[in-house]
Chains A and B, each alone.
Chain A
C-alpha cells in the first residue's frame, strides 16, 4: 500500500506507540533515521534503532525484535523484497517502508494493510497495473480442481482448453511485465529528504535536520546514484529550505550555531582538508578527465595551475595553509579555465555548513567522511559499530569523528587511485564482449579497502572512467564494467565481491546487473549470495567465478 499523506497515515498512527526502526547502513538511511529520531524524541515516541547491512541481517533483526513492537519502519531496505514472504510478520504487525532502492516489489505495493510504503514514486516510475500481476487465487484453485476432474474424466471440451490457454497467456504476459519492471535497479529520491519533508509539515524542521537531509541527497549525487534531473530538483527544493531557515542576519544568532550556505562547489574530493594537487589527483572527475596518472596528464595539470597563477608550493600544501587571497579566488579561477581543459562540470551547486569559527565543511566532505567511516580500515570495528560512528559523525559538535572519517577517506581514495593505476598499467581491464572486466588480484595490500560495497563501487566507477578516457576505441564508452575483488572481510574464505556498473556513455544511472547477476547465478547454480540491498553487488564463491562469468557473457550478448 502506498502512503501519500505521511503525517496522517504514518506519524499520527505511530504516535504514542513503540516503533522499531531498521536502518540500512548507508548514509542516506542513517540521515533519515537521525531526522526521525529527533522527531520521535520531541513527541516522546519510544523507539529502537537497529542498523542492518545485508538481507540476512534484516531477517535476523526482525526475528529478534518481533515481540517488542507492533510497528516496524524499514529505512532504505526491504522495499525490493516481498516483505510478507521474507519476514512472515504476525497479523497485527504493521511494517512501514521508506526505501530509495527501486524497483519496489509489486507485492509490497499492492499489499492491503500490513506493508505500507512511505516513499513517493517518481513520475517516471511505472508500476505494473494490479490486474496484470495478480489474479483471483480462488479461480485458479477451481481450475486446478477441475483440471484433476478433467484428468479423470478425460474430457477436453473447448471451454476448458480455451480457459487454460488464456491462463497460460496471462502468465507469460505477467512474466514479461514483471521482467520489464525489475530489469533495471536504480535509486529513487532520497529518504532523508522525505523525512525532512515530514518534519517540515510537522513544523519541527531546523537547520540540523535540514543538514542531514542535504547530506542524504548529496550521497546520491556524489556516488552517482540518483538521476541527474532528480538531483537538480532536490537541490532546488533544499535551497528553498536553506534560505528560509537561514534568513536571519548573522548578528542575531549565537555564533556557534549551525549555519548552512548554498554555493557553487568544486567537484574535488575533500579539497578543503587536503592539498589542491592531491585532491585533484584523487577525485574521479578531474583525475579521469586530465588523465592525471600519465606523464602528459601531470604536465596538463601543471599547465593548468600555471595558467591560473597558483604557485606550486601553495598547491602542494594543505588547503587551509594556502594564501587567503588564492583561496578566495580559487573557484573563479578554476571556473574560467575549466572549459579549456575539458572540465565543464567542475563546479556544481552544493551546500556547506559552518559552525562558529571552525572550518567550513561541504556536504560532499561529509559524505566522503561518512562513507569511509562506514567501511573502516580497522579490522576490529563491526559493521554495526561503524554505522553508529557515522551517526556520530553527522551529529553537530562531534568534529573529531568527522575528522577521523576524513583521514580514512583520504586513505581510501589513495588506495583507489593506486589500484586504478595498476589496472591501467598492467592492462588488466579486459573486454569480455558485452562488458569490460577487471579483477583485484588476491593478496593485493589494499584489498581490505575494496572488500566493502561503497569503496568497491567507487573503484569500479573510477576504473571505468579512467579506462574509457585512455582507450582509443569508441566502443569502450558504451560498455559496462564488472569488477571483482577478494572479499577479505567475509568470515568464510574464498569468496569475492562482484560489482557491476552501467556504461559511462549512458546518462541514465539505471543498472541492469542486479537482475543479470541473479539469472547468471541461477543458471550456473553458483554459490552466490545476493545479500546486499544494492543489488549490483553480490558475493560469489571464487571457484564458481569462471562459470558464472561465462553465463553472464552468454546472457548479455
Chain B
C-alpha cells in the first residue's frame, strides 16, 4: 500500500511515551524516500503522456501526487516531533543528555542539539545582572519554599545556604529549603515526601 512505511514511522514515534526517544529509524526513512522516488518517476512518465492528451492517466497521477505529499508530510512530522522531544529533554535533563538517549540521536540531530545548547546558554547568561539566570530551574512557580525530604543513604554533613549544617543520615526526615536540596534530590541522596 502506498505511504504505509511513512505511517509506520509516525506510529513508532507515537507509541514511545513522553520522555523517551526511539532510535532514529534510518532504514524506514530510506524506504520512504525510495518509494517517493519511484512515485515521482512514474508520475513524470505519465505526465508526459497526459500532456499528450491521454485523459485516462489523470486519476493515477493525482493519486501518486497525493501519496507523495503524504509521505513528505509524515517525514517532516517525524523529524519535527523528534526535535521537539529533544528540546524538551534539554530542559529536563540539562545540557548533557543521558547516554541511552544520546545513542538514539542521528548526526544532524546531535549538531542541532549542540547549537540549541549554545543558544540557550548564551541567552541565559545575558539575563539578570550577574552571571545570568538559570531558566531551567523552577519552570513552574514552587508551591512552597521548603520541602520535606527523606534521606536515602548516608551522606554526612551538608551545609545549607544560611550556614547551618545538617547531618544527612539514612532514614532521617528533614524539612529544608527547596532550592538548596534540589541537586541532592536529583543525585538520589534525598527523596521528596508528598
CB contact under 8 A between A48 and B145, given known A68-B165, A68-B167: no
Q: Any chain A CB within 8 A of the CB of B148? A: yes
Q: Any chain A CB within 8 A of the CB of B27? A: no
Question: Distance (Å) between the CB of A39 and the closest chain B CB?
Answer: 11
Q: Any chain A CB within 8 A of the CB of B133? A: no
Q: Which of B67-75, B121-129, B170-178, B182-190 contacts A (4 or more CB under 8 A)?
A: B170-178
Bound complex: CA of A40 vs CA of B148, how far in Å? Answer: 11
- CB contacts (< 8 Å) of B169 on chain A: these are 50, 64
CB contact under 8 A between A49 and B173, given known A44-B145, A44-B146: yes
Q: Nearest chain-B residue to A45 (Cβ)?
A: B175
Q: Any chain B CB within 8 A of the CB of A18? A: yes
CB contact under 8 A between A41 and B171, given known A48-B166, A67-B165, A68-B165: no
Counting chain A CB atoms within 10 Å of each CB, the highest count among B165, B166, B170, B172 belongs to B172
User: Do the beta carbons of B150 and A65 come within 8 Å of each other?
Assistant: no
User: Do the beta carbons of A68 and B164 come within 8 Å of each other?
Assistant: yes
User: Do the beta carbons of A37 and B165 come within 8 Å of each other?
Assistant: no
Q: Nearest chain-A residue to B151 (Cβ)?
A: A48
The 0/1 profile, CB within 8 Å of B marked 1, for residues 43-69 of chain A is 011111111000000000000110110
User: Do the beta carbons of B164 and A388 come within 8 Å of each other?
Assistant: no
- CB contacts (< 8 Å) of A49 on chain B: these are 172-174
The 0/1 profile, CB within 8 Å of B marked 1, for residues 15-42 of chain A is 0001000000000000000000100110
CB contact under 8 A between A51 and B148, given known A18-B164, A68-B164, A68-B166: no
Question: Distance (Å) between the CB of A184 and the closest chain B CB?
Answer: 34
User: Do the beta carbons of A40 and B164 come within 8 Å of each other?
Assistant: no
Bound complex: CA of A384 vs CA of B169, how far in Å? Answer: 11
User: Do the beta carbons of B176 and A65 come within 8 Å of each other?
Assistant: no
Bound complex: CA of A397 vs CA of B148, how far in Å? Answer: 17
CB contact under 8 A between A64 and B174, given known A41-B148, A44-B145: no
Bound complex: CA of A40 vs CA of B175, how far in Å? Answer: 9
User: Do the beta carbons of B166 and A388 come within 8 Å of each other?
Assistant: no
Q: Any chain B CB within 8 A of the CB of A382? A: yes
Q: Any chain B CB within 8 A of the CB of A385? A: yes
- CB contacts (< 8 Å) of B173 on chain A: these are 37, 47-50, 388, 391
Q: Any chain B CB within 8 A of the CB of A387? A: yes
CB contact under 8 A between A48 and B172, given known A41-B146, A41-B148, A388-B150: yes
- Choose one: B146, B150, B167; the contact of A64 (CB below 8 Å): B167
- CB contacts (< 8 Å) of B167 on chain A: these are 48, 64-65, 67-68
CB contact under 8 A between A382 and B146, given known A48-B166, A67-B165: no
Counting chain A CB atoms within 10 Å of each CB, the highest count among B145, B148, B167 belongs to B167
User: Do the beta carbons of B175 and A47 come within 8 Å of each other?
Assistant: yes
User: Do the beta carbons of A382 and B172 come within 8 Å of each other?
Assistant: no
Question: Distance (Å) between the CB of A193 and the closest chain B CB?
Answer: 22
Bound complex: CA of A347 vs CA of B133, how far in Å? Answer: 64
- CB contacts (< 8 Å) of A382 on chain B: these are 170-171
User: Do the beta carbons of B170 and A384 come within 8 Å of each other?
Assistant: yes
CB contact under 8 A between A50 and B172, given known A64-B167, A67-B165: yes
Question: Distance (Å) between the CB of A241 and the closest chain B CB?
Answer: 25
> Size range of the interface on B?
10 to 19
Q: Nearest chain-A residue to B171 (Cβ)?
A: A384
Bound complex: CA of A46 vs CA of B147, how far in Å? Answer: 10
Question: Distance (Å) between the CB of A188 and the closest chain B CB?
Answer: 26
- CB contacts (< 8 Å) of A387 on chain B: these are 171
Bound complex: CA of A471 vs CA of B131, how far in Å? Answer: 83
Question: Distance (Å) between the CB of A387 and the closest chain B CB?
Answer: 7
The 0/1 profile, CB within 8 Å of A marked 1, for residues 149-167 of chain B is 0100000000000001111
User: Do the beta carbons of A46 and B176 come within 8 Å of each other?
Assistant: yes
- CB contacts (< 8 Å) of B194 on chain A: these are 395, 397
- Choose one: A18, A67, A385; the contact of B171 (CB below 8 Å): A385
Question: Distance (Å) between the CB of A22 and the closest chain B CB?
Answer: 10
Bound complex: CA of A64 vs CA of B171, how far in Å? Answer: 14
- CB contacts (< 8 Å) of A18 on chain B: these are 164
Q: Nearest chain-B residue to A392 (Cβ)?
A: B193
Bound complex: CA of A51 vs CA of B174, how far in Å? Answer: 12
Bound complex: CA of A50 vs CA of B164, how far in Å? Answer: 18
Question: Distance (Å) between the CB of B81 and the closest chain A CB?
Answer: 35
Bound complex: CA of A47 vs CA of B147, how far in Å? Answer: 11
Q: Nearest chain-B residue to A382 (Cβ)?
A: B171
- CB contacts (< 8 Å) of B172 on chain A: these are 48-51, 384
CB contact under 8 A between A388 and B145, given known A18-B164, A67-B165, A68-B166: no
- Choose one: A48, A385, A397; the contact of B174 (CB below 8 Å): A48
Question: Distance (Å) between the CB of B176 and the closest chain A CB?
Answer: 7
- CB contacts (< 8 Å) of A384 on chain B: these are 170-172
Question: Distance (Å) between the CB of A63 and the closest chain B CB?
Answer: 10
User: Do the beta carbons of A46 and B175 come within 8 Å of each other?
Assistant: yes
Q: Nearest chain-B residue to A38 (Cβ)?
A: B148
Bound complex: CA of A48 vs CA of B157, how far in Å? Answer: 13
Bound complex: CA of A44 vs CA of B164, how far in Å? Answer: 15
Bound complex: CA of A391 vs CA of B171, how far in Å? Answer: 12
- CB contacts (< 8 Å) of B146 on chain A: these are 41, 44, 46
Q: Nearest chain-B residue to A47 (Cβ)?
A: B175
Q: Nearest chain-A residue to B144 (Cβ)?
A: A41
Bound complex: CA of A429 vs CA of B175, how far in Å? Answer: 50
CB contact under 8 A between A388 and B175, given known A41-B148, A68-B164, A68-B166: no
- CB contacts (< 8 Å) of A45 on chain B: these are 175
User: Do the beta carbons of B175 and A37 come within 8 Å of each other?
Assistant: yes
Q: Nearest chain-B residue to A388 (Cβ)?
A: B171
**Interface set, chain B 109-155, CB cutoff 8 A to A:** 145-146, 148, 150
Bound complex: CA of A64 vs CA of B154, how far in Å? Answer: 12
- CB contacts (< 8 Å) of B165 on chain A: these are 67-68
- CB contacts (< 8 Å) of A67 on chain B: these are 165, 167
Question: Distance (Å) between the CB of A378 and the closest chain B CB?
Answer: 15
Question: Distance (Å) between the CB of B79 and the closest chain A CB?
Answer: 42
The 0/1 profile, CB within 8 Å of A marked 1, for residues 45-80 of chain B is 000000000000000000000000000000000000
Listed A/B pairs (19) with beta-carbon separation below 8 Å: A41-B146, A41-B148, A46-B146, A46-B164, A47-B173, A48-B166, A48-B173, A49-B172, A50-B172, A65-B167, A67-B167, A68-B166, A68-B167, A382-B170, A384-B170, A385-B171, A387-B171, A391-B173, A397-B194
Given contacts A18-B164, A46-B164, A48-B167, 15 further A-B contacts (CB under 8 A): A45-B175, A46-B146, A46-B175, A47-B173, A47-B174, A48-B166, A48-B172, A50-B169, A51-B172, A67-B167, A68-B164, A385-B171, A391-B173, A395-B194, A397-B194
Q: Which 10 A-B pairs have the closest CB atoms?
A: A384-B171, A49-B173, A48-B174, A47-B175, A50-B172, A46-B175, A385-B171, A65-B167, A64-B167, A388-B171
